[in-house]
Amino acid sequence: MDKPALLLNNIVKAFPGVLALDGASLEIKSGEIHGLVGENGAGKSTIIKVLAGVYQADSGSIEVFGEPLKPITPATVHRAGIRFIHQELHLVPHFSVTESVFMGQEISSPAGLSKGQMRRRAEAVLKDKLGRSISGRKLVRDLTTAERKLIQIARALIDDEARVVVFDEPTAPLASGEVVALMSAIERLKNSGITIVYISHYLDEITDICERVTVFRQGQSVAVFDTVTKATGSELVTAMIGREIASLYPDSDRNPHGTGLSVKSLGDGKSFQNVSFEVGRGEIFGIAGLIGSGREELVDALYGVNKIRYGTIEKDSKPIKISSPAIAVANGIVLVPRDRRQDGLVLPMNILENISLSVLKQISSYGFLNRKRERQVAEQQTAKIDIRPSNPKTVTRFLSGGNQQKVVLARWLANDANIFILDEPTVGVDVGARVEIYQLIADLAANGASIIVSSSDPAELIGLCDRVATMTRGVLSGVRITEKLTVDRLVALTTGATQESANVT
């Protein structure tokens, strides 16, 4: 038998406070397509960055076709014939196909660039190795996303020295029709003898094209599947999750009634199409979906950050047009953004000032702030939600993630909002604060607010929400009652490991 194309042995990599890789190993056989799966934070991207020479491992070794790789730097990795297809395209829009494929490796003579020779080579690589004819003269900005992906791949192959190609989430930006074309290009590469490492959240893709799969969890490779069939999908899910959901979540004895917000065939012409759903008053409605599924863009659109091309939004059965966050807030719709440090808080300001930002109207008269009133409102709110330290003069930069999130929530509580959109409400929040935030959300709903929770954590959605919808490739489907749902099933639905579209509402 051949030497393995890649052998990563006992890799340990710690960051301050986190053990990202805890003795992870990975064996990629020569000439295979090997899948790499795991939840966010399982260590997939860390091990790839170690392999790329971007991170230096604390311990462990790497062998390439039996040869130890030392030292591990981007240059030595490149020389060993390992190429990376990054998730982001990294292309220059106004460059031609030829210029993009040859970037950094241009052929030139003393008379200047050999444009014709470069164009013929670029076109040949695209056609012979990837099975797609694209004119080298075309500009990148005139290509489809799938074609751009092929340009990116061609760039890795142009020097004819690639032996292992690592794909990181290659289909994330693609529409489902384009995925097939990319898959056949990857198959073609494999048939020409190149070893492929394939990282994806989409388990249907993994079971479709991979011959073997390694599952990562908590910084370790926990399972290796030597044969992969369609049926392996559910086993992969179990291996990926491998944990129980604790009782973090508040009781769901709520009583949703009526319709708070109704969205009808909404689309932005890019990231999501024909999205329809309704959220009742007093209901917590979840939206599941992977990064790149259009979930984030949908949330932004509901808040007026992202432009809506078609469709309608009705609040309390009255159509409203949300063209900016200010209009959303005026209509009682508020957002707790995913990146609270960047979008949610003014970090150099203190708790008091952050809370009063959204209620300036209530606490000012004739354009002057009523400082006493400001302090009252802020104290009311901080008392309600138990922010620590409770001194309202504390600058928010120094608060923990959980407390920062509570300040963001407190701000909107002070306002008279009744539709809450929470985007990744507990990312980077410790367990204790999570429980409090969940309770706060449940209280809001109990008071009759309509709540939309967009999250990449399936356990959170099932534990917290009354109903949950899944978003895949810009399409929202399958609204389900969470009582009838398990984490495995929800993961399977968002990753496409099972195909079903029955709407149970």
Give the shortest CB-504-to-another protein separation in angstroms.
28
Residues lying near another protein in the complex (CB under 8 A) are found at 78, 86, 88, 90-95, 99-100, 103-106, 108, 112-113, 139, 141, 155, 175, 177, 269-270, 309
Using the minimum distance from each CB to another protein, give the nearer residue, 176 or 192: 176
Contacts of 392 (CB under 8 A, 6+ apart): 350, 351, 352, 355, 375, 378, 379, 382
Give the shortest CB-283-to-another protein separation in angstroms.
32
CA distances, 330 to each of 74, 228, 303, 307 (Å): 51, 53, 11, 18
CA atoms of 468 and 490, how far apart (whole Å) = 9
Using the minimum distance from each CB to another protein, give the nearer residue, 7 or 125: 125
State CA 40 to chain mean position distance: 8
Using the minimum distance from each CB to another protein, give the nearer residue, 83 or 340: 83
| 185: three-class secondary structure by DSSP | helix
Using the minimum distance from each CB to another protein, give the nearer residue, 54 or 395: 54
- Check: CB of residue 454 under 8 Å from CB of residue 424: yes
Q: Which residues pair with 314 in a beta bridge?
A: 262, 319
Using the minimum distance from each CB to another protein, give the nearer residue, 139 or 347: 139
Give the shortest CB-156-to-another protein separation in angstroms.
10
Give the shortest CB-155-to-another protein separation in angstroms.
7
CA atoms of 25 and 38, how far apart (whole Å) = 14
Q: Which amino acid is at 251?
A: D
State CA 61 to chain mean position distance: 30
Q: Which amino acid is at 350?
A: N
Q: Where are the alpha helices (DSSP H) in 85-231?
A: 97-101, 115-124, 130, 145-157, 176-191, 203-209
Of 146, 140, 126, 230, nearest in space to 188 by CA = 126
Using the minimum distance from each CB to another protein, give the nearer residue, 98 or 455: 98
Give the shortest CB-308-to-another protein separation in angstroms.
13
State CA 387 to chain mean position distance: 29
CA atoms of 115 and 94, how far apart (whole Å) = 16
Using the minimum distance from each CB to another protein, give the nearer residue, 106 or 416: 106
The backbone torsions φ and ψ at residue 459, rounded to the nearest 5 degrees and listed phi first, read -65, -40
Give the shortest CB-337-to-another protein separation in angstroms.
23
| Residue count of the chain | 505
Using the minimum distance from each CB to another protein, give the nearer residue, 269 or 432: 269
Give the shortest CB-212-to-another protein separation in angstroms.
28
Give the shortest CB-73-to-another protein separation in angstroms.
12
